[in-house]
Amino acid sequence: MDTPTDGPLGSSNELTPLPVDHARLRRAVRELLAAVGENPDREGLLDTPDRVARMYAEVFAGLRTDPAIFLQKTFTQKHDEMVLVKDIEFSSMCEHHLLPFFGKAHIAYLPNGRIVGLSKLARVVDAVARRPQVQERMTEEIADLVMTHLKARGVGVIVEAAHTCMSVRGVRKAGAMTITSSMRGGFLDHPMTRNELMALVFGK
Ligand code: ZN
């Protein structure tokens, strides 16, 4: 029997997982191989449907995780200045081609008397990234989650990523980086705050 696979975030903080239909995934991968003219029954491909099914369960584990859950526990802290967590590595799947894109996210916020454990911001990135995504929406979603649940005075999220759908197909431009940013509150209203964030992230 097929059982839902726990995501990389562990099971303790997860919502009741929606079932991942492994048998259906295996059938679909087999069908895909046949459709491109391969023989799914040749030795090298025999276990491929099962491997791909398990991989999909893993890379789409975010579909079974509510990212807001990581922002529920906050701490009272008198700290008015910017908090920045830099270089949070992530990998995601472009929803247009189902090919990976990966890179780093940088999350800054201006606390409003409440702070959150720094690792929790990395958990949020993982939960948002591990689903069919586009980088632009992912950036917005992270900013809105932090803004809403921390009631922050401002949030700045910058995501830089390489898209394999740009390198292995289409224009085939390996090495191109896509940078997106979402600014809320103080980061939107005050150019100096935004510039400080840019300098901290990109250096000079
Ligand atoms: Zn793509």
DSSP per-residue string spanning 75-120: EE----S-EEEEEEEEEEEETTTTEEEEEEEEEEEE-SSEEE-HHH
Nearest to 151 by CA among 52, 94, 71, 51: 71
pLDDT for residue 174: 83
94 CA to centre of ligand 1 in angstroms: 5
101 CA to centre of ligand 1 in angstroms: 8
Contact 56, 20 (CB under 8 A): yes
Tell me the average pLDDT across 139-148: 98
pTM above 0.85, yes or no: yes
Contact 91, 100 (CB under 8 A): yes
102 CA to centre of ligand 1 in angstroms: 12
One CATH from 3.40.50.280, 3.10.129.10, 3.40.50.2000, 3.30.1130.10 for 75-202? 3.30.1130.10
Structure tokens at 55: 């991989």
19 or 91, greater pLDDT: 91
CATH 3.40.50.11900 fits 1-65, yes or no: no
Q: Residues of CATH 1.10.286.10 domain(s) within the chain?
A: 1-65
Residue with tokens 């999220």: 157
Asked if residue 200 has pLDDT above 80, the reply is yes
57 CA to centre of ligand 1 in angstroms: 20
134 CA to centre of ligand 1 in angstroms: 8
pLDDT for residue 113: 92
63 CA to centre of ligand 1 in angstroms: 19
Q: Residues of CATH 3.30.1130.10 domain(s) within the chain?
A: 75-202
CA dist., res. 76 & res. 113, Å (int): 6
Catalytic residues: 94-97, 135, 163, 165
Beta strands 132-133 and 83-94 are parallel
pLDDT for residue 172: 86
Output DSSP code: residue 14: P
31 to 55, 139, 165, 166: CA distances (angstroms): 17, 34, 22, 26
